[in-house]
Amino acid sequence: MKKIILVVEDERLTRTIIAATLKQYGMHCVEAENGQDALALLSTQHFDLILTDLRMPVMNGVELIKTVREREKTAGDAPMPIVVLSAEKGEMVDAALQLGVCGYFIKSASVEELIPLLQQLLAD
């Protein structure tokens, strides 16, 4: 069964590139433009992993991660794997790591470099 990844990124071209690359590795992607849209999708369907940008309009990635973790605690659910996309390592990445994300990926790198981490997280 294909793993379903929620890709949260405000730049359409970046979302398209990520989704196309992950599809080549047998992963299905659902795309959201910001954290608020992602939360709406999370309320209606199951995802195996979230791949999220940090700097987005409406609701940024740190707010999204915090809300997801709060929902999981309230529901008694195990934490979903979350990987952060970032242009650089900084305060937002540090905040995300403190919220229990599985890692971060610098956007300037090739998406293929992200595949081993995602495959490992989805295999668990």
Q: DSSP string of 41-105?
A: HHHHS--SEEEEESS-SSS-HHHHHHHHHHHHHHHTPPPPPEEEEESS-SHHHHHHHHTT-SEEE
The per-residue pLDDT of the chain, averaged, comes to 89
What percentage of the chain reaches a pLDDT higher than 90? 50
Query: What three-state secondary structure class fits 19?
Result: helix
Read off the CATH number of the domain in which 71 is found. Answer: 3.40.50.2300
Count the domains in the chain: 1
pLDDT at position 45 over 90: yes
Q: Which domain holds residue 9?
A: 3-123
Which pLDDT does position 124 carry in this prediction? 61
Residue type, 37: D
What's the pLDDT band for 109 if we cut at 50, 70, 90? Answer: low
Give yes or no for residue 90 having a pLDDT over 80: no
Does the structure show a pLDDT above 70 at 56?
A: yes
**Residue 41: predicted pLDDT:** 97
